[in-house]
Amino acid sequence: MGRLVPAVTRALDVLELFLQGDGTLSAPEVTRRLQLPRTTVHELLTTLAARSYLVTIPEQPGRYRLGVRTYQLGSRYAEQLDLAAEGQQVAREVAESCGETVHVAILEDTEVIYIAKVDSTHAVRMVSAAGRKLPAHCTSVGKLLLAALPEAELDARLDGRELVAMTANSVTDAAELRAALAGVRKRGIAVEHRESNPDVSCVAAPVRNRAGLVVAALSISVPMIRWTEEREAELARLAAGGADALSARLGHGKAQA
């Protein structure tokens, strides 16, 4: 276990105090409960308020309550819980319709994390597993999620990063990857042929949240012995339909209605 950062620990201690009582506190109350110097408490409260983790209460001068940033974090946490549970259900439905392996994944920096997986009815050796991370550039779900990032954010994540190969077909050139991502944006789906597994190809479609943001991708993986252009087109439609169904479960479309 790494070393804990005292300043971060104190800031979190302050925030956790607001889970008690009526959810409002003054600086003297925080000082007394945490046994911290008044100057330290003032600096912590000022910093947390500046970042919208706390707000002052106009009708109660000197008192604070939790701010909108804590709500946003909690909402994102709840959304991901919903995403995993709903993703598993939709993945099961898609897998039943095609008999192939279905994944739902999210992006973390330059890797994908698989949060749901339903195996094929056939015996297939897969490198993926629920909870496992893989390099995003080697997977259809990863390419789709990278393609959905704003250009500046994509640059920040990719610049200076080595693109490690998982198979002989993995993309390891940054310019080639960016060209592939441009194609993903144009088509609205992502495909990878034996880039993470030498025997498997995959097609992925975007999953959107209530605000219309791409928060995950749903993919269908097929061994090359069952992969044809016709099958690819069919699976692309199934993946898109499954991703749309999962998006609807997350509230996509309701905010615009």
Q: With bands split at pLDDT 50, 70 and 90, how would you rate the model's confidence at 195?
A: very high
- The residue that leads in pLDDT, 54 or 1, is 54
Note the pLDDT of residue 125. Answer: 53
Whether the pLDDT of residue 85 is over 80: the answer is yes
Mean pLDDT, residues 194-222: 93
pLDDT above 70 coverage of the chain, percent: 93
Element (H, E) at 34: helix 27-34
Q: Where in the chain is the domain with CATH 3.30.450.40?
A: 81-250
Please enumerate in sequence order all residues whose Cβ is within 8 A of that of 28, keeping only pairs 6 or more positions apart, or say none. Answer: 38
Which pLDDT band holds residue 152 (cuts at 50, 70, 90)? very high
Give the CATH number of domain 81-250: 3.30.450.40
Three-state SS at 66: strand
C-alpha to C-alpha distances, 11 to 42, 47, 63, nearest whole angstrom:
11, 9, 17
Helix (H, G, I), strand (E, B) or coil at 208: strand
Span(s) in the chain for CATH 1.10.10.10: 6-78
Per-residue pLDDT, averaged over 142-149, amounts to: 96
Q: What is the mean pLDDT of the chain?
A: 89
CATH architecture of the domain with residue range 6-78: Orthogonal Bundle (1.10)
Q: Quote the pLDDT of residue 130.
A: 60
